């Protein structure tokens, strides 16, 4: 028996035979061409064929996993139909006089690197989507056929990586689980796996010799057993049955209050990265949205998104949430989140540089456009606005002047606005130390534990060498959180946590005992954390 560890994408247990899924290697050669027009026509024909194939995959995905999860293929089509994407390919064909295959591969590689270089895991996971689109176009241009689905099944499917198109192409009924060498919990393939409700692991060092062997995938602990002993097999068959019963029990928590045994109510919200995630929020019964990362509108665009396009997104989210609070974080560009058209320039230490609210206060035309869109959308739902990377009272007062000006401007134009709460991210030691002063200026705090940990411990979270000391459980970090809660409550300011620490179930009790009012977590964790909350006594009086 071999026992191998990986990273869990979807929890659960699968037992069955392994199928090693091998991709066809695609090599693209640069060829000098004389007839650029001909190459552009080849690209255009391939692009239309790709759109046609993706529409077929969309229909298949709708049937097998649902409309919401199938949206990934609509996103792919939007990219292929985006004039900026096409222009980047055709410009390369013309300017460098190269073949269409090479231009597509280069354009895809450039876009992939933009996403891969981002710190935010959601955006980093978009790298795989761009590669999937690129490979499809290159395959069509090269005249290769798409690989057929699995003939046998269902199986535990293993591969170096699986693209969403391959996952759907193989067919839902062919999977017991999937295990990959590479991938991300935020990838669209992972989203599809969750929709299929099948266990999945990534980060597993796969061996060719495993093909056809019996295995167990433990998606709860992130472990793979190859050719398990009979007694191990029996243990997992029993656990599989118990797991199914536990999941059914968890679904009974839908509609229940997020309240401790001694009556303390917690706002249990969800984090989202785009309007496409709202369905997940509603399906998992979150009380609201605690962090809407608005920067995706900028990072997925080739130019500054205008007021109208932003308004439509914010309005859509607000209306779909039907009165539940939606906290939108204003543009948090800079550091790992870069868009070429911003022209941010090189920085020696970008994590401590020109980012977040600093960019917005410096480039107020960008800030005002977003604020106009948000205040307009507030007439259609319960929108609140949150500002990132705050370190001073002066910044808040500048923001207030701008927001008042924007509201007056809209009023003069006869445009209605709703009542909008305004809050800030607490993600620096400076903000913690003056949180009593900041609390007098805003309606709520949301603690961004990722950056707060980084700045408190002077440990770059991007530096793998520092992983042993990047400890979000460090007493200094927990004391910072406690101080923020106490100072916020003294001045009537609500305090929540929206960073990764909010989903750390080992600390749920600790946070509630500290007096935290709100936890904002990935949608899939709402019900599991609700279960924990409903079995806790708050332990002391809180404001």
User: CA-CA distance, 303 to 415, in Å (whole number)?
Assistant: 26
Q: Are strands 214-218 and 13-20 parallel, antiparallel or unpaired?
A: antiparallel
375: which 2 tokens? Answer: 């205040």
335: left (phi over 0), alpha (psi -120 to 50) or beta: left
DSSP structure class, residue 98: B
User: CA-CA distance, 155 to 198, in Å (whole number)?
Assistant: 11
**DSSP symbols for 147-169:** PP--SS-SEEEEES---HHHHHH
Contact 449, 477 (CB under 8 A): yes
User: CA-CA distance, 500 to 472, in Å (whole number)?
Assistant: 9
Query: Which residues, other chains included, contact 145 with Cβ-Cβ below 8 Å and sequence gap of 6+?
Result: none
Instruction: Note if the bond before 255 is cis, omega within 30 degrees.
Output: no
DSSP structure class, residue 266: -
DSSP structure class, residue 355: -
Contact 115, 123 (CB under 8 A): yes
Contact 481, 495 (CB under 8 A): no
Q: Which residues are catalytic?
A: 188, 498
User: CA-CA distance, 303 to 434, in Å (whole number)?
Assistant: 37
Q: Are strands 518-521 and 494-497 parallel, antiparallel or unpaired?
A: parallel
Contacts made by residues 396-403, CB under 8 angstroms, sequence distance 24+: 396/424, 396/438, 396/441, 396/442, 397/441, 398/361, 399/357, 399/361, 400/441, 402/364, 402/367, 402/368, 402/371, 403/371, 403/375
User: CA-CA distance, 104 to 25, in Å (whole number)?
Assistant: 16
User: CA-CA distance, 470 to 462, in Å (whole number)?
Assistant: 10
Contact 201, 93 (CB under 8 A): no
């Amino acid at each position: 028996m071999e026992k191998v560890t990986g990273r869990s994408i979807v929890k659960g247990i699968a037992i069955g035979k392994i199928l090693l899924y091998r991709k066809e290697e695609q090599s693209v050669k640069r060829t000098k061409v004389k007839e650029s027009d001909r190459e552009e026509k080849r690209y255009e024909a391939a692009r239309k064929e790709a759109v046609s194939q993706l529409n077929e995959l969309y229909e298949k995905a709708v049937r097998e996993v649902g409309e919401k999860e199938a949206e990934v293929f609509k996103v792919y089509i939007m990219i292929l139909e985006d004039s900026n994407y096409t222009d980047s390919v055709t410009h390369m064909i013309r300017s460098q006089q190269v073949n269409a295959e090479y231009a597509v591969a280069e354009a895809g590689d450039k876009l992939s690197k933009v996403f891969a270089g981002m710190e935010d895991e959601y955006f980093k996971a978009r790298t795989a989507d761009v590669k999937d689109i690129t490979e499809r176009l290159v395959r069509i241009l090269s005249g290769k056929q798409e690989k057929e689905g699995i003939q046998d099944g269902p199986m535990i499917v293993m591969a170096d990586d699986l693209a969403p198109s391959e996952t759907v192409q193989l067919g839902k009924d062919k999977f017991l689980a999937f295990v990959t060498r590479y991938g991300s919990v935020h990838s669209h393939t992972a989203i599809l796996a969750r929709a299929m409700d099948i266990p999945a692991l990534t980060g597993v060092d796969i061996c060719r010799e495993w093909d056809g062997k019996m295995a167990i995938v433990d998606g709860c602990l992130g472990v793979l057993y190859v050719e398990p002993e009979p007694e191990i097999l029996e243990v997992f068959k029993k656990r599989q049955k118990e797991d199914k019963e536990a999941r059914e029990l968890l679904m009974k928590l839908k509609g229940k209050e997020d309240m401790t045994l001694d009556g303390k109510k917690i706002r249990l919200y969800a984090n989202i990265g785009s309007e496409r995630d709202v369905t997940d929020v509603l399906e998992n019964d979150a009380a609201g949205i605690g962090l809407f990362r608005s920067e995706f509108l900028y990072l997925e665009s080739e130019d500054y998104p205008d007021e109208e396009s932003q308004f439509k997104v914010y309005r859509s989210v607000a209306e779909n949430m039907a009165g539940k609070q939606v906290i939108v974080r204003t543009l948090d560009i800079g550091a790992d989140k870069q868009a070429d058209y911003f022209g941010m320039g090189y920085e020696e230490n970008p994590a401590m540089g020109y980012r977040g609210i600093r960019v917005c206060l410096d480039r107020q035309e960008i800030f005002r456009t977003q604020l106009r869109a948000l205040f307009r959308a507030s007439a259609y739902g319960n929108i609140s606005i949150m500002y990132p990377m705050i370190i001073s009272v002066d910044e808040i007062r500048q923001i207030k002047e701008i927001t008042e000006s924007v509201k007056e401007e809209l009023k003069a134009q006869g445009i209605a606005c709703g009542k909008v709460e305004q809050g800030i991210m607490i993600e620096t030691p400076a903000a913690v130390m003056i949180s009593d002063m900041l609390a007098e200026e805003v309606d709520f705090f949301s603690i961004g534990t990722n950056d707060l940990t980084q700045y408190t411990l002077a440990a770059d979270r991007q530096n793998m060498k520092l992983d042993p000391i990047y400890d979000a459980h460090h007493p200094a970090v927990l004391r910072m959180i406690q101080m923020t809660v106490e100072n916020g409550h003294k001045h009537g300011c609500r305090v929540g946590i929206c960073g990764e620490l909010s989903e750390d179930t080992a600390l749920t009790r600790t946070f509630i005992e500290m007096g935290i009012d709100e936890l904002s977590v990935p949608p899939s964790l709402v019900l599991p954390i609700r279960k924990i909350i409903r079995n806790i006594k708050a332990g002391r009086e809180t404001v």
